[in-house]
Chain A
Amino acid sequence: MRLSYPSNIKVIQVPCSGRVDILHLLKAIEDGADGVYIAGCLEGECHFLTGNLKARRRVNYVKKVLEELGMEPGRVEMFNLSAGEGPRFVEIAKEMTERIRALGPSPLRMDEAA
């Protein structure tokens, strides 16, 4: 298909979205990422049954933490799509990029931004 998605997105492959831990999401934010999202399989289609559901709960936990810290919970997100949906992957990448661009850079990098 040779589809292209925004180049600012850094893809980290994991065997299952259930492998993504709260700490992975937090460390990305801590190290200055403007946003983090998980692209997991469709709900009900997890090869390991509940990996993507666990990932969603972890994303929700981090959203709550960000809210408690006065940061935008929208900086982390969970998306579900199948491995065959290349165009949807691109759509999500663009959607997330636009959302983060609207929110602005991470407040943790304010010094760099200035």
Chain B
Amino acid sequence: MIVADRKPLAEILDMIKDMDKILIIGCKGCVTVCNVGGAKEVGILASVLKIARKKDGRPLHVDERTLERQCDPEYIEQVKDVVDEYDGVISMACGVGPQFLSQAYPNQRFFPAVNTTFYGGAVQHGIWEERCAGCGQCVIHYFGGMCPIARCSKSLLNGPCGGSAGGKCEISKDVDCIWDMIVRKKMAEGRLEDLMDVKPAKSWDTARDGGPRRAVREELVQ
């Protein structure tokens, strides 16, 4: 899923400082699963913003909506009757949400309440880790099911660097050296020779380096 973090309250309050009536729109997709932008978090943010503004003597009217997803026009359309009634709209979806909303409703202003951080998963309740870098050319099967693009600080494809010590990466003691894990797994499997294949420099054409990406599935296009 796409993982995000809520922006600091001061930043959100600054976005809406001139407004008296706002709408907060959550998303039932990834940001609900990573507990940052679903119906629950929309409710919490609404309450917190109301507290902050009431404290400053300028009460804020906040309405709440949570859409099935904010990355499909059919769901974005569901707010068409109300969206222009507000001084501004806060989206709690990943970076896709406020962009789809802005495009659909050019007369309204949309503000992101979260910072979109990475593609990852929950390693335990309340802790998420990066697993994919969206490079457009998956190679995890060469590395025991672990991605050195996303999980090695240098995205190395041919073994660890000199910064690997005690299974940890030199950037932080909290970061595992993925190459340490790959080599250990291959040793345990008795397949260490798999790693003798030298991987040539990766083409980044399919990653962001090739410019904004687009996927077309012709059998679905109407």
Contact = CB atoms under 8 A, between A and B. Distances in A.
Nearest to B8: A68
A103 interface: no
A69 B8 contact: no
A14 to B, nearest CB: 18
Main secondary structure of the interface of B (DSSP, over half): helix
B47 A68 contact: no
A71 to B, nearest CB: 7
Contact of B54 (A22, A30, A68, A70): A30
B8 A71 contact: no
Looking at chain A, what size class is its interface with the partner chain? 10 to 19
B44 interface: yes
Interface string B39-79: 01001100110111011010000000000000000000000
A22 B42 CA distance: 12
B57 A65 contact: no
A71 B44 contact: no
Interface of A: 22-23, 26-27, 29-30, 65, 68-71, 107-108, 110-111
Interface of B: 8-10, 40, 43-44, 47-48, 50-52, 54-55, 57
6 contacts: A26-B47, A65-B9, A69-B51, A70-B55, A107-B55, A108-B55
